Amino acid sequence: DGGITQSPKYLFRKEGQNVTLSCEQNLNHDAMYWYRQDPGQGLRLIYYSQIVNDFQKGDIAEGYSVSREKKESFPLTVTSAQKNPTAFYLCASSGMFSREGDYGYTFGSGTRLTVV
Amino acid sequence: RKEVEQDPGPFNVPEGATVAFNCTYSNSASQSFFWYRQDCRKEPKLLMSVYSSGNEDGRFTAQLNRASQYISLLIRDSKLSDSATYLCVVNSMYNFNKFYFGSGTKLNVKP
């Protein structure tokens, strides 16, 4: 079955440490995204990529980095520069829009990152 | 002004009730519209797309009003299992791969 896989499900980071969250999809989707969700709040866009080897900053990119070396993979690194990284991180992918209403997002099951 | 705005709720309704949520969007160039459902501590899942002509899927009906720039979701005969947060999602025809999420409306269906 096609889908999008995030790992790990839970991640604990020490202060000053960089950590990388994995996101892999086998849906043949061109676009991939990283969102952050804080308790009781909506999703905020960190980075997105519409094509291999290209990505764009979202609304809250500071303290994060990404790469898109393969269509299937879009890892997110949370660097030590991100001062408040504890959150629920969601990866998503989407196909290209061909007509009205087509192709919403497909989300991974998320990674809960906690700073200890 | 936020791109997408929703009443956070919570909407507390008894089983069997009909409940409706609205979501307003600020960009008149928005092209595609969706409702997602998010259960507690889970990822959002697509509930339904929203077409210009409106669409219905069982107990759920979605409507789009371009003139007033809002979309709505109507749930009939509410079930306990409908309890969740409902997210409104909108994207732009100018950056069609960039989506904007509302912060969600929480629904609690009670016995």
| Gap between the Cα atoms of B6 and B56, Å rounded | 21
Q: Which residues of chain A have pLDDT under 70?
A: 1, 96-104
The shortest CB-CB distance from A101 to any of B41, B43, B51 is to B51
Cis peptide leading into residue B10 (ω within 30°): yes
Contacts of B45 in chain A (CB under 8 A): 107
| pLDDT of res. A103 | 60
CB B107 within 8 A of CB B43: no
* Structure-block tokens of residue B111: 């016995």
Sorting pLDDT into bands at 50, 70 and 90, what band is B38?
very high
Sorting pLDDT into bands at 50, 70 and 90, what band is B27?
confident
For chain A, helix, strand, coil in percent to 5 are 0, 50, 50
Partner B contacted by A100 (CB < 8 A): yes
| Gap between the Cα atoms of A97 and A10, Å rounded | 33
| Gap between the Cα atoms of A85 and A9, Å rounded | 15
Report which residue type is found at B61. T
